[in-house]
């Protein structure tokens, strides 16, 4: 056993603990639904990404069980050897239909999808214009590609335009990409895709949208690209199958030639075992539900509006979210953490998010209402917020 490794771990773990940056991970003792059990306590769950409540949907559970009976529990191999089941092909056809593109490719997670797709398309001779608040998996995918990363100020179109002009006119780069989250999960704001597309057209940029938090939520469920009617303008529509869709996995949708390239060049497709049959079958059915009906989508937005109104009326700062994501911005990091802890004690599970995930002094408790919450649950949560907010002097 390496002494160097032990010394490294001890020093660094202690340092994190001293700085209060060592996060304990809670164990959820049962399903991740609108209510959850943590440390033996039943709580109103406002922390999941299970936007449409599909993670615990009874029909999807049955579909997954039937697929396990028909195919077994594992895909058996990586996609390019013999792990591509007919189910994977059906899934990719369904994803292309869902996103309004020629084709799609699926991956084992949203995170490795970004790592896979960005690095398959961009290389050291290229540059990537990346929104400052993009998700960690985008940042890592960009780093892996070895392209020059040029961050632009969050949703600042003047800054993007200036940097796009500079990058393309410098003659230093072969291709230039602009990459953005569709919905930013810390504030719930939506990327300015029409302006981004305009700039991309002017400078011939490749456009890449990570719509992890938009698919199932914006565009009547079809996502942020659809919300703006830009299906024909975005080169790479990335999404996750773990949030609104309720299962696990990631995908890129786009033109056939792009998907053909990703099939032969993206490394997690080539070298990591395919998503399990039970998961894939459940995802196909979940996508069909989202395509066929806006009922869950409408319920999600109704619940989002209800929670926002309730918290705003109490005097909380809920920011400028354009989606059901409802941040409750408290500011001071310690107070934010204390707030979240008191919510827990009073029966509400809503996590604190502080620096470095968000800027210093903008600590917040982030609420993610879902289609599965009842009004009674939301009323109870609002009542707890009122009590804890007054107790800690966050509201009057
Ligand atoms: N992109 C964004 C914007 C995300 O928020 C997340 C999940 N936190 C991912 C990608 C990764 O998705 P997954 O959880 O499916 O790996």
Looking at 271, 306, 335, the residue that finishes a domain is 271
Say yes or no: CB of residue 279 within 6 Å of ligand 1. Answer: no
Q: Residue 374 — very low, low, confident or very high, per pLDDT cuts 50/70/90?
A: very high
Claim to verify: residue 256 and residue 332 sit in the same structural domain: no
Catalytic residue positions, numbered: 185, 213, 243
348 with 260, same domain: the answer is: no
**Are residue 301 and residue 380 in the same domain, yes or no?**
yes
Whether residues 195 and 226 fall in one domain: yes
Q: How far is CA 197 from CA 118, 175, 177, 322, in A?
A: 18, 16, 11, 20
For residue 113, pLDDT beyond 90 = yes
Q: In the predicted model, is pLDDT for residue 371 greater than 80?
A: yes
How confident is the model at residue 306, as a pLDDT? 98
Is residue 62, in this structure, part of any structural domain at all?
no
User: 306 with 378: CB under 8 angstroms?
Assistant: yes
Residues 103 and 197 in one domain: yes
- Is 298 in the same domain as 258? no
Mean pLDDT score, 323-337: 95
Mean pLDDT, residues 312-322: 96
Residues 6+ apart with CB under 8 A from 349: 36, 38, 43, 44, 45, 46, 47, 343
Q: What is the CATH number of the domain that holds 350?
A: 3.90.1150.10
Share of the chain above pLDDT 70, in %: 100
User: Sorting pLDDT into bands at 50, 70 and 90, what band is 43?
Assistant: very high
Q: Which of 109, 111, 244 to mutate to test the pocket of ligand 1 (most atoms within 8 A of CB)?
A: 111
Ligand 1 centroid to residue 394 C-alpha, Å: 31
Same domain assignment for residues 131 and 260: yes
241: CATH: 3.40.640.10
Give the 3-state secondary structure of residue 254.
strand
In the listed set 271, 302, 337, which residue is the last one of a domain according to the structure?
A: 271
Residues 259 and 308 reside in one and the same domain: no
pLDDT at 18 over 90: no
Average pLDDT, the chain: 97
Please check whether residue 286 lies inside any domain of the structure.
Answer: no
Q: Give the DSSP H or E segment for 329.
A: strand 326-331
Is 337 strand, coil or helix? helix
What are the residue ranges of helices labelled H in the chain? 3-18, 58-71, 86-99, 110-121, 136-145, 157-169, 193-203, 224-227, 256-265, 267-271, 277-292, 295-314, 333-345, 375-391
* Residue in 240, 245, 283, 357 to alter for ligand 1 test, most ligand atoms within 8 A of Cβ: 240
Q: Tell me if 170 is assigned to some domain.
A: yes
5: Cβ contacts below 8 Å, ≥ 6 apart: none
Work out the number of other CB atoms within 10 angstroms of the CB of residue 355. 13
Task: Provide the residue range defining the domain that includes 33.
Answer: 3-56+294-391
Mean pLDDT, residues 358-374: 95
Using the 3D structure, point to which of 271, 305, 337 is the last residue of a domain: 271
pLDDT for 21? 76
Q: Do β-strands 250-254 and 103-107 pair in parallel, antiparallel, or remain unpaired? A: antiparallel
Residue 111 CA to ligand 1 center (angstroms) comes to: 5
pLDDT tens per residue across span 246-299: 999 999 999 999 999 999 999 999 999 999 999 999 999 999 999 999 999 999
pLDDT for residue 23 is more than 90:
no
Q: What is the pLDDT of residues 211-248, one digit of tens each?
A: 999 999 999 999 999 999 999 999 999 999 999 999 99
Asked whether residue 50 is domain-assigned, the answer is yes
Rounded mean pLDDT of 46-68? 98
The least confident of 5-19, 31-45, 52-66, 135-149 is 5-19
What is the pLDDT averaged over residues 146-173? 98
Q: Residue range 31-44: average pLDDT?
A: 97
Q: What is the pLDDT of residue 20?
A: 72
Asked if residue 349 belongs to a domain, the reply is yes
Asked whether residue 171 falls in the same domain as residue 312, the answer is no
168 and 238 fall within a common domain: yes
Above 80 in pLDDT, residue 187?
A: yes
59, 72, 363 from 359: Cα distances, Å: 41, 46, 8
Question: Is pLDDT of 173 > 80?
Answer: yes
The answer as to whether 378 is a domain residue is yes
218 touches ligand 1 (CB under 6 Å):
no
- Closest C-alpha to ligand 1, atom 13: 110
- How many separate domains does the chain show? 2
Indicate whether this complex's ipTM tops 0.85: yes
Question: Do residue 11 and residue 140 come from a single domain?
Answer: no
Among 130, 135, 218, say which to mutate for ligand 1: greatest number of ligand atoms within 8 Å of CB. 135
Task: Looking at the structure, tell me whether residues 240 and 164 fall in a common domain.
Answer: yes
Pocket lining: 47 vs ligand 1, CB cutoff 6 Å: no
- With respect to residue 66, please indicate whether it lies within any of the assigned structural domains: no
pLDDT for the residue numbered 17:
87
Residue 147 lies in a domain: yes
pLDDT of residue 355: 85
């Amino acid at each position: 056993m390496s002494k160097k490794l032990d010394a490294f771990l001890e020093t660094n773990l202690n340092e994190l603990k001293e700085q209060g940056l060592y996060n304990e991970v809670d164990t959820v003792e049962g399903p991740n639904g609108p209510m959850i059990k943590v440390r033996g306590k039943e709580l109103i769950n406002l922390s999941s990404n299970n936007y449409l409540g599909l993670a615990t949907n009874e029909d999807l559970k049955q579909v997954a069980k039937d697929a396990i009976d028909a195919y077994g529990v594992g895909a058996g191999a990586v996609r390019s050897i013999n792990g591509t089941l007919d189910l994977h092909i059906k899934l990719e056809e369904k994803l292309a239909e869902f996103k309004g593109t020629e084709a799609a490719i699926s991956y084992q997670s949203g995170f490795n999808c970004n790592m896979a797709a960005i690095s398959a398309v961009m290389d050291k001779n290229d540059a990537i214009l990346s929104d400052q608040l993009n998700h960690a998996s985008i940042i890592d995918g960009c780093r892996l590609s070895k392209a020059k990363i040029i961050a632009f100020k969050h949703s600042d179109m003047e800054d993007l335009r200036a940097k796009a002009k500079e990058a393309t006119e410098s003659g230093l780069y072969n291709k230039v990409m602009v990459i953005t989250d569709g919905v930013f999960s810390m504030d719930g704001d939506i990327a300015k895709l029409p302006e981004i597309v305009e700039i991309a057209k002017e400078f011939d940029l490749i456009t890449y949208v990570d719509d992890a938090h938009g698919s199932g939520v914006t565009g009547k469920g079809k996502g942020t690209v659809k919300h703006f009617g830009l299906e024909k303008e975005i080169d790479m529509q990335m999404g996750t199958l773990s949030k609104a869709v309720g299962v696990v996995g990631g995908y890129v949708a786009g033109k056939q030639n792009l998907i053909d390239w990703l099939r032969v060049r993206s490394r997690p497709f080539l070298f990591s075992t395919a998503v399990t049959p039970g998961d894939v079958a459940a995802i196909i059915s979940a996508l069909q539900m989202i395509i066929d009906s806006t009922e869950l989508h409408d319920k999600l937005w109704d619940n989002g509006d209800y929670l926002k109104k309730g918290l705003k009326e109490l005097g909380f700062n809920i920011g400028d979210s354009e989606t059901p994501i409802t941040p409750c911005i408290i500011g001071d990091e310690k107070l934010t953490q204390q707030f979240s802890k008191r919510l827990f004690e009073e029966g509400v599970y809503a996590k604190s998010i502080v620096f470095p995930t968000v800027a210093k002094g903008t600590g917040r408790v982030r609420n993610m209402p879902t289609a599965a919450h009842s009004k009674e649950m939301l009323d109870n949560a609002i009542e707890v917020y009122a009590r804890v907010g007054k107790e800690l002097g966050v509201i009057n």
